[in-house]
Chain A
């Protein structure tokens, strides 16, 4: 592959990283904390390519960078760098959703350690993350959630006649997503699958057990359809 083409590929790839960083779309793929690294990586890629381009222009032609014999081999694989570029600019894959939750075996695997079960905040309706809700239903034996009105945010999912509200949690990138889901009863929203909702209601006490893979039941009192949050995953 020609040096000029490599430079263009680097600029495109760096540009793709910067694009998802500044548009906020990176949150579909990786966790929030990676943002500075993404911007730095994109800028460095573009910088390295520009440096080479400026150098070539000054010299009047593309110089061989001293590894001539290595190029014939590496040139073919370098083309693959186009794939993420095209995926980002043309397809812009959506955040993971129901497909992952349905095919996962490790739903609602929370850690006792995570919860350090503190007191719930006071107030009529407590907004809780799915992670905290599921963790409390699985590990908290004192039943701090019982009788409290809670609001959860997630997307709808239907399987085996039941309706669930589900969400994914990631620790690094979407490849390590862990699914969380809660079975809905009561005023179950009649909305299409994958629609994001805020559901308000109460946990059915002692409904999460090892037998149902720690999926608690939740009595819905009211719900509102909402747009997909900017941060689709919990962390």
Chain B
């Protein structure tokens, strides 16, 4: 420890030399320990359930990372190349009118839910009203063409499912936007999420782009991993089979499928294939599964808590859960 401390302090050009353990030393320590105890670690995980959980965990992280990277690149691009004034000109000045525009604009972000969180936060930082950014956040993962096409492929016996999913998700996003206009309080959102970007003179636009993207990635990456941990644990240790036997009744079925959507945290591009497999169920609970999943799940709650703060996430997620179920049921009853 003393030695590393000395090396560190001699490297540092400014500041008084002192022995201090920083995150860099901690990181090195963890890596060395992990290497030393690698075989012990592997043995420890050699239980079928834990093996399954670790595979699912890695799978969720690996699958989501490209979309998170896409999200932070878009977010960085907005920060660097789209002036706040341009965004204001693009959107209707009345927030309640801008909400549906933002919902439909979600069609343009071809990714799953991990991509939309950093983009929504950046929109807020650029002065877009929170209600509008949140509508975009909820709509984008569910109404984009890739998700709709994969839903159509999965449910090609029942094409109305695609229409119902589109309508239900868009409705959920817009209702949440309007609810925020009416009841939302800015202080629920952590101050750091809304802090305007400082004008960084000196750096080129590309530097702003890269720095913003890097910052968002570091910020959100940990929360994505946290969400992956929860989802893997639920997927492995919650008796899904037992839950499905409960879902014979329509009301119970809707609730069970909504809860499953939250805990399984499936990618919105894949959830239709899972929903189609619950073939014992009527279409309505399966539609609820498809509408709730992209709007609220454990991975998304973790990302939102990271981006907007805990006090936001603990209000927004339950509200979205209820609204999504209601919107899905309404569209399901009308369309299916």
Residues of chain A touching chain B, judged by Cβ–Cβ distance below 8 Å, are 1-2, 4-6, 8-10, 13, 17, 20, 26, 28-30, 34, 37-38, 40-41, 44-45, 48-49, 51-52, 55, 60-61, 65-67, 69-70, 73-84, 86-88, 90-91, 93-96, 98-100, 103-106, 109, 111-113, 170-176, 178
Interface stretch among B81-89, B169-177, B178-186, B275-283?
B275-283
> Quick check: B192 and A30 within 8 Å, CB to CB?
no
Q: List 8 A-B contacts (CB under 8 A).
A: A6-B214, A41-B65, A49-B214, A99-B48, A105-B241, A109-B278, A173-B59, A173-B267
Choose among A28, A51, A75, A91 the residue that contacts B23 (Cβ–Cβ < 8 A).
Answer: A75
With the chains together, A228 CA to B34 CA distance in Å?
Answer: 28
| Docked-complex contact B30 and A82, CB < 8 angstroms | yes
CB distance from A131 to the nearest CB of B (A): 12
Number of interface residues of B (CB under 8 A): 82
A172→B66 contact, CB < 8 A = no
The contact string, 1 if C-beta is below 8 Å from chain A, for chain B 241-275, is 10011000000000000000000111101110110
Going nearest first, the 4 A-B pairs with the smallest beta carbon separation are A172-B270, A77-B222, A105-B241, A174-B59
Most B C-beta atoms less than 10 A away, residue of A4, A106, A170: A106
Report if B210 contacts A (CB, 8 A).
Answer: yes
- What residues of chain B lie closer than 8 Å to A93, measured between beta carbons? 45, 51, 54-55, 57-58
For the complex formed, measure the closest distance between the CB of A228 and the CB atoms of chain B, giving whole angstroms. 13
Are A74 and B306 in contact (CB-based, < 8 A)?
yes
Question: In the complex, are the beta carbons of B214 and A48 less than 8 A apart?
Answer: yes
User: B54-69 CB contact bits vs A (8 Å, 1 = yes)?
Assistant: 1111111111011011
Task: Tell me, rounded to whole Å, the shortest Cβ–Cβ distance linking B221 to chain A.
Answer: 5
Binds A, one of B134-142, B223-231, B317-325, B328-336: B223-231
Contact in complex: A99, B59 (CB < 8 Å): no
Known: A38-B66, A40-B66, A74-B222. A91 touches B157 (CB 8 A): no
Residue from B13, B52, B228, B278 in contact with A100 in the complex, judged by beta carbons closer than 8 Å? B52
Q: Which residue of B lies closest to A20 (CB)?
A: B62
Q: Is the CB of B214 within 8 A of A29?
A: no
Chain B residues with CB under 8 A of A60: 13
| Cβ contacts under 8 Å, B270 to chain A | 170-173, 175-176
- A174, B278: Cβ atoms closer than 8 Å: no
A82 neighbours in B (Cβ, 8 Å): 27, 30
B62 touching A109, Cβ below 8 Å: no
B69 touches A41 (CB 8 A): yes
- Interface centre among B54, B63, B219, by most A CB within 10 Å? B63
Q: Inside 8 A of A45's CB, which chain B residues have their CB?
A: 65, 69, 217
Q: Chain B residues with Cβ under 8 A from A103's Cβ? A: 239-241
Verify if B315 is at the interface (C-beta below 8 Å from A). no
CB distance from A137 to the nearest CB of B (A): 15
B223 touches A175 (CB 8 A): no
Provide the bound-state CA to CA distance between A173 and B264, in Å.
Answer: 12
Known: A74-B219, A99-B51, A173-B270. 7 other contacts (CB 8 A): A48-B210, A79-B222, A93-B54, A103-B240, A171-B270, A173-B59, A175-B265
Chain B neighbourhood of A9, CB < 8 A = 27, 218, 221
- In Å, the complex CA distance between A100 and B48 comes to 9
A30 to chain B, nearest CB (A): 5
- For the complex formed, measure the closest distance between the CB of B18 and the CB atoms of chain A, giving whole angstroms: 15
Give CA–CA (A2, B24) in the complex, Å: 7
A90 & B35 in contact (Cβ 8 Å cutoff): yes
A37 to B271, CA, bound (A): 19
Is B198 interfacial (CB 8 A cutoff)? Answer: yes
Q: Is B205 an interface residue (CB 8 A)?
A: no
B200 within 8 A of A: yes
Known: A44-B73, A67-B192. A37 touches B66 (CB 8 A): yes
B210:A52 contact, CB within 8 angstroms: yes
Contacts of A91 in B (CB 8 A): 41-42, 45, 54
Contact of B34 with A86 in the complex, beta carbons under 8 Å: yes
By beta carbon, the residue of chain A nearest B226 is A80
Would you call B207 an interface residue if the criterion is a C-beta within 8 Å of the partner chain's C-beta atoms?
yes
Residues of A close to B35: CB separation below 8 A: 90
- In the assembled complex, which residues on chain B have CB atoms less than 8 Å from the CB atom of A30? 59, 62-63
Contacts of A171 in B (CB 8 A): 150, 154, 270, 273-274
